[in-house]
Structures are given as C-alpha cells and as structure tokens.
C-alpha cells in the first residue's frame, strides 16, 4: 500500500514537472493563455509595421516639385504668392593668386556690399561636369577647313582630340557655377489697376524694376573686386534647372542641343517619332470634329431664329 502511494506521488511530481517544462497548464481542463505580444514572431511583425511606408509618405511626382511656381518668364521665376526671383551669374576672381593687399581689398569690397543690403540674397553653387564638346568640335572644323596642314599636323591634332576626350571620360571632372538669387514679394492690393491685364503688367514691371535695382547694386559693387555679375536670362534659368535635375545626362544630352531640336521641330521637315505623328493626327481630327459640331449648332440656332 505504501509503495502504491509513493509511486502515485512520484507520478504526480513527474507530471507537474513535465507540464512546467512545456509551459502548459497543469490542470488539463484549463485553457492555455497566449500572450501574443511576448512572442518573438509578433515582435518582428511589430517592427515591420514601424517601417511600413504609408501613402502620404510616398515620394512626390516631379511635377509636384513645382506646385508653387506659376511661371518662368521675363528673366524671373514667379510664384503663386506673387513672389518674384531673379538670378545673376557671378564670374569669380582668382582670390589665392592675389597678393595680401589685393586680398584685403577684395574682402573689404565684399564686406561693404553685405553690410549695405537690407533684403534677402541667396548664394547658390552648382557643380557641373566639364563639357569640352564645343572646343573639340571647333578643332575638328579647323582641321577640316585648313588646306595648308600636312599629315603630321593633322595626326598631331587628331591625337590631341583623342587625349582630350579620354581625359574627360576617364575621371569625372567638375566646374563650379556661382549664382546670386534675389527674391522680392509684391502685395497686389498695393497696386491700383483698371483691369486684370493692367494689374498683371504692373506686377511684372514693378518686380522687374526692383530686382534689377538690387542686381545692378551688386554688379557695381562687386566689380571693384573683379567679380563680374550678369543677369541670367529666361533660357539660362531653364538651363540651370536642367542641370540641377539631370546632372549626368546633361553632358551627353546638352541643353543647347535640346533647344535646337525644339526649334527645328517647328518645321514639317523635322524628324518626328511615330507616336508624335499619331498624336498630331488625332489632334487634327478632333479639331475638325469640334468645328463640324460648332457649325451644326450654328445652323440649328439660325433655323430656330428664323
């Protein structure tokens, strides 16, 4: 009898130990409590949720970068809040080749200009890949048009052109463009005009006059420090933006070539893609259809009036 009791106690202890090792309830009729937040798989799921990108955080489209820009014309960038921006290109002085006295004179001129301005001025530096395609093209044309060059001179010129092209392609080389950015905001309520067109014209004229005054002040002051300041025209603003968003492509697909291509595209003899031709045909057909519908409406109105 005693042996049976000892064996029963030993069995109960072994059963309890077994359940504790498996982390299961000792009493079989009780349900197992599951704490999902403590399991490693759920922790991983929670971490994944933290790194999920919501729809609001998705990258914006390229067009949305210019939502605040209303127009680029008259050598200015116009924004929706009637702010106008004018950009000036600066040709720098070789500061470190100057003597100590010349460097101090340049510093004094620049400091006096900074102390005189009471409006915002931004400095913008843009690194561009060096493009030597135009000098190389000029060298090729000179070699082609020259009649008094012997074979040795032509061979030397061709080897120089090859060396320049290899020099440009082997290692990326940059040049720095420097710009001054002037911004001026006008309150349309301060301008009196009889019509919307007159108001628009006065806004542009007043903004251009104020920004040109600031640019000329910088030009006259920095000229004493041997720094040439020139207005960046409308085409130059587009080229600046083109190099900003197409840094590497701008070397092969030059902005000047794009402008020339667009100019030639105005003529019927220009090369066009099949998609462009089909789009033009569809536009012509749609225009003819709209004109025919307009004629029908006019005839209907005339018949009703008679």
- Segment 237-266, tens digit of pLDDT: 999 999 998 888 887 778 877 777 777 666
Question: Do both 99 and 240 map to the same domain?
Answer: yes
Question: Do both 92 and 215 map to the same domain?
Answer: yes
The pairing of strands 174-185 and 228-231 is: unpaired
* For residue 36, pLDDT beyond 50: no
Q: Which two tokens stand for residue 210?
A: 């104020």
Question: Do both 88 and 144 map to the same domain?
Answer: yes
Question: Do both 78 and 37 map to the same domain?
Answer: no
pLDDT over 90 for what percent of the chain? 36
Residue 208 inside a domain? The answer is: yes
Residue 287 inside a domain? The answer is: no
Q: In this predicted structure, what is the pLDDT of residue 146? A: 82
DSSP H helical segments within the chain, as ranges? Answer: 2-22, 40-50, 100-116, 133-145, 151-170, 196-222, 234-245, 249-252, 255-264, 274-305
Determine the average pLDDT of the residues in 291-304.
Answer: 82
Domain of 42, in residue numbers: 2-46
Residue 35 inside a domain? The answer is: yes
- Segment 97-107, tens digit of pLDDT: 999 999 999 99
Determine the average pLDDT of the residues in 282-305.
Answer: 84
Residue 201 inside a domain? The answer is: yes
- Segment 38-50, tens digit of pLDDT: 444 454 445 545 5
Q: In this predicted structure, what is the pLDDT of residue 266? A: 64
Q: Classify residue 229 by burial, with Cβ atoms within 10 Å: 0-12, 13-18, 19+.
A: buried
With CA atoms as reference, report the closest residue to 176 among 111, 255, 121, 94: 94
Question: Do both 177 and 40 map to the same domain?
Answer: no
The whole-angstrom separation of Cα 215 and Cα 88 is 7
Question: Do both 29 and 150 map to the same domain?
Answer: no
Residue 191 inside a domain? The answer is: yes
**Domains identified in the chain, total number:** 2
Residue 297 inside a domain? The answer is: no
Q: Using pLDDT thresholds of 50, 70 and 90, give the confidence band for residue 54.
A: low
Contact 133, 254 (CB under 8 A): yes
Please tell me whether residue 190 adopts helix, strand or coil conformation.
helix
Q: In this predicted structure, what is the pLDDT of residue 298? A: 80
pTM of the model: 0.63
- Segment 146-190, tens digit of pLDDT: 878 888 888 888 898 888 888 877 777 888 999 999 999 998 888
The pairing of strands 69-73 and 76-79 is: antiparallel
Q: Which two tokens stand for residue 72?
A: 């680029």
- Segment 73-98, tens digit of pLDDT: 999 999 999 999 999 999 999 999 99
Residue 110: partners with Cβ closer than 8 Å, 6 or more residues away: 222, 225
Question: Do both 25 and 174 map to the same domain?
Answer: no
Question: Do both 76 and 36 map to the same domain?
Answer: no
Determine the average pLDDT of the residues in 210-228.
Answer: 95
Note the Cα 186 to chain centre separation in Å.
Answer: 26
Residue 58 inside a domain? The answer is: no
Per residue in 47-60, is it b (16+ CB within 10 Å) or e — as a string? eeeeeeeeeeeeee
Question: Do both 216 and 108 map to the same domain?
Answer: yes
Contact 45, 150 (CB under 8 A): no
Question: Do both 29 and 140 map to the same domain?
Answer: no
- Among candidate residues 30, 46, 62, the one where a domain is terminated: 46
Determine the average pLDDT of the residues in 116-143.
Answer: 88
Question: Do both 34 and 99 map to the same domain?
Answer: no
Residue 54 inside a domain? The answer is: no
Q: Classify residue 83 by burial, with Cβ atoms within 10 Å: 0-12, 13-18, 19+.
A: middle
Question: Do both 188 and 77 map to the same domain?
Answer: yes
DSSP calls for 113-132: HHHH--S-EEEEEEEEE---
Distant-in-sequence contacts of 201-209, Cβ < 8 A, 24+ apart: 203/82, 204/74, 204/76, 204/78, 204/84, 207/76, 207/78, 207/84, 208/74, 208/75, 208/76, 208/84, 208/86
């Amino acid at each position: 009898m005693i042996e049976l009791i000892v064996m029963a106690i030993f069995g109960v202890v072994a059963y309890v130990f077994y359940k504790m090792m498996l982390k299961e309830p000792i009493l079989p009729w009780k349900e197992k409590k599951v704490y999902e937040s403590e399991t490693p798989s759920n922790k991983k799921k929670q971490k994944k949720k933290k790194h999920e990108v919501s729809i609001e955080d998705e990258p914006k489209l390229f067009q949305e970068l210019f939502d605040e820009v209303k127009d680029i014309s008259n050598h200015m960038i116009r924004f929706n809040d009637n702010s106008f921006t004018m950009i000036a290109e600066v040709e720098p002085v070789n500061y470190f080749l100057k003597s100590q006295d010349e460097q101090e004179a340049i510093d004094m001129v620049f400091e006096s200009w900074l102390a005189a301005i009471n409006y915002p001025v931004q400095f913008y530096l843009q690194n561009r890949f060096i493009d030597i395609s135009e000098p190389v093209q000029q060298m090729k044309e000179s070699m082609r048009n020259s009649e008094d060059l012997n074979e040795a001179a032509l061979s030397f010129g061709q080897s120089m052109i090859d060396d320049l092209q290899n020099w440009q392609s082997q290692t990326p080389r940059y040049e720095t463009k420097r710009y001054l950015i002037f911004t001026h905001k006008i309150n349309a309520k301060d301008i009196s005009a009889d019509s919307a067109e007159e108001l628009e014209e006065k806004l542009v004229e007043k903004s251009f006059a104020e920004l040109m005054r600031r640019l000329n002040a910088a030009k006259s002051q920095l000229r004493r420090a041997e720094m040439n300041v020139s207005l960046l025209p409308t085409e130059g603003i587009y080229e600046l933006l083109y190099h900003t968003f197409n840094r590497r492509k701008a070397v092969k697909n030059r902005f000047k070539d794009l402008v020339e291509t667009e100019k030639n595209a105005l003529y019927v003899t220009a090369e066009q893609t099949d998609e462009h031709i089909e789009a033009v045909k569809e536009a012509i057909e749609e225009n003819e259809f709209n004109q025919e519908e307009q004629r029908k409406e006019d005839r209907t109105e005339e018949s009703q009036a008679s």
